[in-house]
């Protein structure tokens, strides 16, 4: 945005800093990366850390000799940061894959490495030239630096700060002193940054503009607060700053000052105006994401389709269904986090609270931030400030209490081990706003659904059945060691040199989920799969290696090892971190060899067989009852202002709203909201359906066991011939009976008690006066049902059987209704499928697809993939292969075949382009298709999302396999994004170089050429083949509409740059008519007849050569 602030080639020679400041953590990480590339990376951990410390101290001396500061060099090592920073660090570290070898997480306050580093700095750096702040002193390195700069004299010269943290530039531009930030490749003049911000905002005061600029950037995300949905620093910084400029002009106020002091001066009015402007574009952004295949998945939140994406967003990431009170609280938390960040990174470098943090993984929507800050009066501002003061004060108390809870030790770094108290409210199911968890049985997910008109006892039985009665596959740990080859499953350890005993190792292995879908589960044969681990750590390795679930080999009945793709389907990596389950570790010279088999089981036996890790329900709140309860407690006229009434409504919804749920005439709840977190490939709908079927079978078996009718006619309803249950009269209690039931627990007992009580006590009173049950021993699967009959001598079997028959009739009616609904849905799907098939047959007139191997004709075009059918998980990347040109490439396939994508009809603004070869070889041709109109065209938007999903996959794979692809590791995904050449290109401003969004983005495809001829056909009108060279040379391709079948061929790597190649296999052109010669129509008013229409001919334009992406081509017409 401000290119004049970035100086290439280092600091100008005429500038000599008064002091040099080094953010030392960046130096340490840089030294560690250099050592890992060299021979030191193969040494043991103590020797490696000693080499890193030695190199870091040498680098500090080198930097001091290069800059030759007039005063001292200040070395600042990160101490314990505020809790807001710790929260974000913890989320990032647990979400990133752990690197092999030396763990960079040891660069954390309180570790032995940091203590040795601090001792070395104090010992080896001369005190006459260096001041050192070690990790024992509290605060981040950048905060230590700028507090020292703030204390310096105005008469001193400029200050140079060495570091890579982006916060250094933010703090530098808000500083009153002259600050230069050395980021390695460039030096940033922070005063020019502030001047650029002032020009952008049209503000005369540089300090004022810089402070507002830094505060607004918090909405794009930083180390303390997440970005608003759909905003990224790289693409949307200009949008946020433009909104800030408009807000300042509308309100006449500043963002970073003028607000309550408890908010650090943040003005809610200006923030509300900014959020309102961003909210106008939020809907379109999210809608595009929802239409793209990268983020599309089957819906599992049954009954919640109304209301659009906002309810789903809050329900998925915050656990609420966009209740006004809950959303308002989340938005207020976000505003407080923005205020905290603005004060911390602003001119004062003030920490409003050491213990405060933003407790959610993602930010609320911009519209809700606008609503939370739309407070027109100063009294409202003071109320928000008072809430901030209370929140910051309570956070500091909780933080101090947490430190005391771990022992009250004086070491300040002990705060790092205090877990946030609200971690339990986080839902880490998706990776990002655009990457929801799968719900079609392809992996773990969090699902919610509503159960309406259901008895409380049935809801509780359903929850217990989901947890304990649904069968899955797992490896049992106990039993005879020889049972590893038996159908009963088990683990047999052949050799174990690790520190874990065989029993512990078997137990850990048994807890690894075996991911099978419903179809595999139904056909599971314990003899079919055998699992083996054979791993040895070479005694010369000098390091400890991990044994994870990735080391499990899967063998079939013929002792053939399953391919990696199928093995990864059974034991996939964690979707959040990318790691596999850690089993044990092997030191140099140790070996592990074992075999295991699996079997079917349910959670009743052990938690390893449970398909879910969580399952709970709560009463569904009735909004009408909440409103009625509020009106009863607060009659009209109670409140003076609308704001006070709204505040009271929010408080009432939080404190008393949960008591206002849907009830029946007896006051019992009738509607429930279920939440379950699946841990296997079983879809939530299958798990819930199977649990219901198990409950029905339990009731049927009990009904069969208490009935006297038809006992000699054999089994019924598919059940075994269950023996008749014994009925015992309880001594000394008249007409009181008990019925023992073996093999059951609280699931059936509580269900039968509730159903019989509802029928005999409420619906048809007079037959029984008491219904109950108890489980004699918690570890014994046996319950005793107790019944007291109302009339002497009554048959208790009849009481039980008639009550259960009533339940069976209810279940059959429900099943018939469900079957009818399912049949209607199936019929509608079949009708839509037949309609699409007839449409495809009518269009399939082409006899062949030249240039596409394996597809002899259009009738066999199953390998051509439409955007709506594309599944990114079926895309696979081969191993790198060296090319004659010096680079490398990796073949891309889709389910083992060429990945052939069919584009929608898209405009080619530049037409076919020719690129002369630099080395005298053949010229290259390409075609750029524009995504113009994707906001209104679902097919174009879907294809746009498809290409975006491929780009995202390539960057993720490059981050995970950087050593294989590039023979080096990269510290963050930001570095990968800088090296990646995306397939979608955006137009850029010629002055600033930033993305301008003036023109629609484009997608480049390569046109393959061999021996001077194109290797693909092009079709024109009536599906007739046309000459590609003639279309190019005549210029008729410019501005025409194209549809292509394009192959995603390979990943190319040149040095550290990489990207994906897309080659055209077929083209279809629809030329736009242009006017040539006399083309006027005669008008009636001119007295002429327009029945004779002149011929409309094409106007041929010259061929297009190397178009500029920043210019919009003129339309032929």
pLDDT tens digit sequence for 967-979: 888 777 888 888 8
pLDDT tens digit sequence for 933-978: 888 888 898 899 899 999 989 988 888 888 888 888 877 788 888 8
Mapped onto helix, strand or coil, the DSSP state of residue 10 is: coil
Whether 1101 shows a pLDDT value over 70: the answer reads no
Whether 785 shows a pLDDT value over 90: the answer reads yes
Q: Dmax of the chain from CA atoms?
A: 116
Q: Where in the chain is the domain with CATH 2.170.120.12?
A: 471-610
> Is residue 952 a contact partner of residue 962, using CB atoms and an 8 Å limit?
no
Q: Which of 262-266, 393-397, 411-415, 1109-1113 has the largest mean confidence?
A: 262-266
CB contact set of 1017 (below 8 Å; sequence gap of 6+):
850, 851, 1025, 1066, 1067
Higher-pLDDT residue of 40 and 344 is 344
Percent of the chain predicted with pLDDT > 70? 79
CA quadruple 363, 365, 370, 373: dihedral sign: negative
H/E element holding 1003?
strand 1002-1007
Whether 530 shows a pLDDT value over 60: the answer reads yes
> Is residue 137 a contact partner of residue 79, using CB atoms and an 8 Å limit?
yes
Mapped onto helix, strand or coil, the DSSP state of residue 973 is: helix
> Is residue 128 a contact partner of residue 71, using CB atoms and an 8 Å limit?
no
pLDDT of 485: 43
pLDDT of 210: 86
| Local confidence band at 582 (pLDDT 50, 70, 90 cut-offs) | very high
Q: Where in the chain is the domain with CATH 2.40.50?
A: 872-1070
| Local confidence band at 1080 (pLDDT 50, 70, 90 cut-offs) | low
Higher-pLDDT residue of 297 and 288 is 288
Q: 114: which DSSP letter?
A: H
| Local confidence band at 807 (pLDDT 50, 70, 90 cut-offs) | low
What average pLDDT does this structure show over 267-285? 84
pLDDT of 726: 86
CATH code: domain 872-1070 is 2.40.50
Whether 589 shows a pLDDT value over 70: the answer reads yes
Q: Where in the chain is the domain with CATH 3.30.1360.10?
A: 725-812
Task: Give the helix ranges, DSSP H, for 9-82.
Answer: 24-37, 45-67
pLDDT of 783: 93
pLDDT tens digit sequence for 189-227: 888 888 888 888 888 888 888 888 888 888 888 888 888
Q: Give the C-alpha separation, 625 to 659, whole Å.
A: 9
DSSP string, 136-177: TSSS-HHHHHHHHHHHS-TTS--EEEE---THHHHHHHT-SS
pLDDT tens digit sequence for 399-438: 555 444 333 333 332 222 222 222 222 233 333 333 333 4
pLDDT of 863: 79
Architecture of domain 471-610: Beta Complex (2.170)
Q: Pseudo-torsion of CA 357, 363, 368, 373, nearest 10°?
A: 40
Whether 470 shows a pLDDT value over 50: the answer reads yes
What average pLDDT does this structure show over 604-621? 90
Percent of the chain predicted with pLDDT > 90? 15
Q: What is the mean pLDDT of the chain?
A: 78
> Is residue 394 a contact partner of residue 356, using CB atoms and an 8 Å limit?
no
pLDDT tens digit sequence for 1019-1072: 887 778 888 877 877 778 888 889 999 999 999 888 888 999 999 999 998 876
Burial degree of 1095 (CB within 10 A; 0-12, 13-18, 19+): exposed
pLDDT of 715: 44
pLDDT tens digit sequence for 911-936: 888 877 655 567 788 899 999 888 88
> Which residues share a beta bridge with 591?
536
Q: How many Cα neighbours within 13 Å face the side chain of 419?
A: 6
> Is residue 430 a contact partner of residue 437, using CB atoms and an 8 Å limit?
yes
Report the candidate in 1007, 1021, 1022, 1017 with the shortest Cα–Cα distance to residue 1072: 1021
Q: Give the C-alpha separation, 1008 to 1021, whole Å.
A: 23
Whether 1102 shows a pLDDT value over 80: the answer reads no
| Local confidence band at 355 (pLDDT 50, 70, 90 cut-offs) | confident
CB contact set of 572 (below 8 Å; sequence gap of 6+):
443, 515
Phi/psi of residue 334, nearest 5 degrees: -70, -40
What average pLDDT does this structure show over 686-714? 76
CB contact set of 437 (below 8 Å; sequence gap of 6+):
297, 429, 430, 443, 444, 445, 446, 575
Higher-pLDDT residue of 637 and 325 is 637
pLDDT tens digit sequence for 880-898: 888 877 788 999 998 888 8
- C-alpha distances out from residue 757 to 491, 697, 773, 854, 973, Å: 47, 20, 11, 67, 60
pLDDT of 721: 54
Report the candidate in 274, 270, 264, 273 with the shortest Cα–Cα distance to residue 240: 274
Phi/psi of residue 377, nearest 5 degrees: -110, 155
When the candidates are 3.40.50.2300, 3.30.1360.10, 3.40.190.10, 3.20.20.140, the CATH number that belongs to 725-812 is 3.30.1360.10
Q: For residue 898, how many other CB atoms are within 10 A of its CB?
A: 19
- Strands 1018-1019, 1057-1070: pairing kind: parallel
| Local confidence band at 640 (pLDDT 50, 70, 90 cut-offs) | confident
pTM: 0.42
Q: Give the C-alpha separation, 1027 to 581, whole Å.
A: 57
CB contact set of 967 (below 8 Å; sequence gap of 6+):
none
Report the candidate in 1028, 1040, 1038 with the shortest Cα–Cα distance to residue 1066: 1028
| Local confidence band at 11 (pLDDT 50, 70, 90 cut-offs) | confident
In SS3 terms, 250-283 reads as HHCCCCCCCCCHHHCCCCHHHHHHHHHHHHHHHH
Q: For residue 433, how many other CB atoms are within 10 A of its CB?
A: 20
Whether 101 shows a pLDDT value over 60: the answer reads no
């Amino acid at each position: 945005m401000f290119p004049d602030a970035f100086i290439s080639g280092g600091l100008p020679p005429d500038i000599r800093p008064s002091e040099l400041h080094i953010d030392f953590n960046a130096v340490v990480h840089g030294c560690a990366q250099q050592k890992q590339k060299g021979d030191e990376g193969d040494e043991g951990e103590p020797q490696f850390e000693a080499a890193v410390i030695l190199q870091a101290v040498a680098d500090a001396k080198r930097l001091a000799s290069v800059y030759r500061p007039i005063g001292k060099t200040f070395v600042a090592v990160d101490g314990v940061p505020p809790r807001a920073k710790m929260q974000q660090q913890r989320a990032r570290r647990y979400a990133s894959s752990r690197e092999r070898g030396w763990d960079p997480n040891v660069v954390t306050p309180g570790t032995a490495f940091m203590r040795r580093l601090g001792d070395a700095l104090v010992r080896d750096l001369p005190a006459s030239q260096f001041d050192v702040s070690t990790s024992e002193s509290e605060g981040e390195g950048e905060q230590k630096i700028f507090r020292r700069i703030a204390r310096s004299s105005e008469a001193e010269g400029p200050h140079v700060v060495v570091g890579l943290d982006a916060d250094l530039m933010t703090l530098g531009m808000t500083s009153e002193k002259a600050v230069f930030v050395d980021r390695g490749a460039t030096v940033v003049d922070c005063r020019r940054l502030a001047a650029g911000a002032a020009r952008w905002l049209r503000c005369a005061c540089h300090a004022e503009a810089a402070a507002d600029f830094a505060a607004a950037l918090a909405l794009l995300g930083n180390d303390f607060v997440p970005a608003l949905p759909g905003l990224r620093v790289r693409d949307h910084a200009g949008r946020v700053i433009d909104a800030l400029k408009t807000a300042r002009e509308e309100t006449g106020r500043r963002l970073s000052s003028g607000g309550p002091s408890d908010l650090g001066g943040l003005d809610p009015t200006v923030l509300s105006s900014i959020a309102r402007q961003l909210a106008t574009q939020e809907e379109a952004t999210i809608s595009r994401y929802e239409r793209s295949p990268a983020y599309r998945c089957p819906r599992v939140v049954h009954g919640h389709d109304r209301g659009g994406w906002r309810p789903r967003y809050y329900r998925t990431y915050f656990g609420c269904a966009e209740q006004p009170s809950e959303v308002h609280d989340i938005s207020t938390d976000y505003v407080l986090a923005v205020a905290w960040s603005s004060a911390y990174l602003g001119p004062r470098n003030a920490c409003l609270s050491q213990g405060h943090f933003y407790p959610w993984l993602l930010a609320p929507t911009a519209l809700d931030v606008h609503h939370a800050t739309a407070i027109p009066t100063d009294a409202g501002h003071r109320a928000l400030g008072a809430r901030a003061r209370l929140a910051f004060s309570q956070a500091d108390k909780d933080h101090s209490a947490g430190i005391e809870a771990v022992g009250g030790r004086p070491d300040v770094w002990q705060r790092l081990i205090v877990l946030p108290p609200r971690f339990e409210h986080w839902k880490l199911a998706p990776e990002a706003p655009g990457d929801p968890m799968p719900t079609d049985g392809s992996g773990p997910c969090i699902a919610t659904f509503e159960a309406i008109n259901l008895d409380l006892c049935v809801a509780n039985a359903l929850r217990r059945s989901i947890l304990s009665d649904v069968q899955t596959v797992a490896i049992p740990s106990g039993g005879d060691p020889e049972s590893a080859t038996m159908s009963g499953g088990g683990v047999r350890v052949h050799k174990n040199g690790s520190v874990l005993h065989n029993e512990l190792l078997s137990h850990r292995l048994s807890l690894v989920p075996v991911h099978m879908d419903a179809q595999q589960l139904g056909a599971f044969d314990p003899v079919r799969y055998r699992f083996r681990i054979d791993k040895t750590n070479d005694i010369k390795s000098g390091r400890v290696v991990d044994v994870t679930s990735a080391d499990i080999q899967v063998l079939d009945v013929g002792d053939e090892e399953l391919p990696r793709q199928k093995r990864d389907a059974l034991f996939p990596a964690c979707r959040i971190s990318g790691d596999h389950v850690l089993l044990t570790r092997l030191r140099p010279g140790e070996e592990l060899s074992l075999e295991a088999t699996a079997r079917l089981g349910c959670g009743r036996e052990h938690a390893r067989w449970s398909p879910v890790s969580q399952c709970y329900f709560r009463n569904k709140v009735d909004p009408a009852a909440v409103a009625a309860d509020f009106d009863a407690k607060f009659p009209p006229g109670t409140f003076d202002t609308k704001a006070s009434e709204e505040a009271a409504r929010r408080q009432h919804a939080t404190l008393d709203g949960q008591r206002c749920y849907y009830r029946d005439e007896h006051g019992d709840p009738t509607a429930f909201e279920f939440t379950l977190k699946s841990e296997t490939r079983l879809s939530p709908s299958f798990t819930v359906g199977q649990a219901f079927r198990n409950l029905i079978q339990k009731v049927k078996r009990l009904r069969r066991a208490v009935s006297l009718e038809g006992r000699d006619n054999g089994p019924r309803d598919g059940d075994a011939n269950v023996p008749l249950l014994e009925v015992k009269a309880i001594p000394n209690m008249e007409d009181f009976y008990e019925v023992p039931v073996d093999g059951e627990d609280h699931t059936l007992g509580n269900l039968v008690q509730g159903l019989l009580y509802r029928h005999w006590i409420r619906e048809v009173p007079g037959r029984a006066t008491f219904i109950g049950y108890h489980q004699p021993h918690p570890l014994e699967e046996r319950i005793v049902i107790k019944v007291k009959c109302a009339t002497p001598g009554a048959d208790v079997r009849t009481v039980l059987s008639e009550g259960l028959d009533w339940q069976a009739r209810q279940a059959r009616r429900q099943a018939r209704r469900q079957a009818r609904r399912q049949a209607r849905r199936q019929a509608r799907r079949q009708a839509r499928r037949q309609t699409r098939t007839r449409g495809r047959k009518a269009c399939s007139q082409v006899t062949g697809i030249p240039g596409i191997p394996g597809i002899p004709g259009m009738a066999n075009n199953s390998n051509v993939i439409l955007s709506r059918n594309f599944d990114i998980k079926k895309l696979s990347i081969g191993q790198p292969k060296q090319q004659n040109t010096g680079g490398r490439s990796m073949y891309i396939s889709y389910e083992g075949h060429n990945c052939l994508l069919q584009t929608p009809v898209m405009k080619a603004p530049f037409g076919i382009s020719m690129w002369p070869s630099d080395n005298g070889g053949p010229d290259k041709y390409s075609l750029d298709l524009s995504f113009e109109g994707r906001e209104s065209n679902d097919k174009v938007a879907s294809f746009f999302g498809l290409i975006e999903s491929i780009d995202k996959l390539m960057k993720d794979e490059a981050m995970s396999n950087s050593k294989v692809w590039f023979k080096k590791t990269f510290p963050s995904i930001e570095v990968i994004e800088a090296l990646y050449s995306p397939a979608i290109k955006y137009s850029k401003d010629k002055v600033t170089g930033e993305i301008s969004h003036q023109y629609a983005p484009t997608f480049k495809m390569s046109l393959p050429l061999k021996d001077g001829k194109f290797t693909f056909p092009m079709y024109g009108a009536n599906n007739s083949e046309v000459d590609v060279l003639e279309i190019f040379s005549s210029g008729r391709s410019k501005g025409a509409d194209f549809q292509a079948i394009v192959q995603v061929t390979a990943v190319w790597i040149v040095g550290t740059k990489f990207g994906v190649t897309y080659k055209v296999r077929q083209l279809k052109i629809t030329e736009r008519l242009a006017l040539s010669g006399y083309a006027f129509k005669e008008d009636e008013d001119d007295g002429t007849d327009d029945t004779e229409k002149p011929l409309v001919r094409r106007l041929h334009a010259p061929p297009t050569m190397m178009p500029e992406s920043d210019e919009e081509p003129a339309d032929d017409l």
